[in-house]
Chains A and B, each alone.
Chain A
């Protein structure tokens, strides 16, 4: 069964460092998303991506964040200068326009 894969599963970084989280969505899907879940809190929408551009972003997704689909298979989330409050589980998801989002296992980011 096709699945969304994310790497790394866990990353520890120092405050101020750049982080790139990678995702390989399901191959025939057209819509891609990043969500995050701070420990003990609800899952929050960050950004959606369609046709090689951002279709919607939340207020959390400020200038420190960017997304890219560099090669037609990977979908990356970059945090330019990490802050302590960026520590969270980041989930990638994809959708083929059925309304059902398929989520990856998540990448846990710990900022020290």
Chain B
């Protein structure tokens, strides 16, 4: 079975500061890994995905994530936070291209001026 753990349910960052959201996964087979963002009262939007190609994955809105097999991690970063980045971010894992996603508990990001 696969699972993900997101460290920190709430993160507060200053506008312009680095955003770092941590995700560690557990999987018995090479995983597919995803980061989704959920803005208030909206659905889930894919930020980026790792599917065994490049370990550094670039996504939308300036976000990127690095797959580190040795650390079983897939942390999400953005060099400079914008006010519009305030949202909830979910890390998710799947073991195949058609299977279900297992989501982490989510990290709420607050951006302060």
Contacts and interface: CB of A to CB of B under 8 A. Distances in A.
Contacts of A33: 100
A103 B90 contact: no
B35 to A, nearest CB: 12
B96 A99 contact: yes
B77 interface: no
Nearest to A108: B41
Interface stretch (B18-26, B44-52, B65-73): B44-52
Contacts of B98: 30-31, 48, 50, 95, 97, 99
Given A45-B102, A48-B100, A99 B43 contact: no
B105 interface: yes
Interface residues of B, number: 24
Interface in B78-113: 90, 92, 94, 96-106
B63 interface: no
Given A31-B98, A99-B94, A99-B97, A42 B43 contact: no
Interface string A58-69: 100000000000
Interface residues of A, number: 25
A97 B94 CA distance: 12
A42 B36 CA distance: 12
A111 interface: no
Contact of B90 (A30, A42, A98, A105): A42
Interface of A: 30-31, 33, 35, 41-45, 48, 50, 56, 58, 91, 95, 97-106
Interface of B: 32, 34, 36, 42-46, 49, 51, 90, 92, 94, 96-106
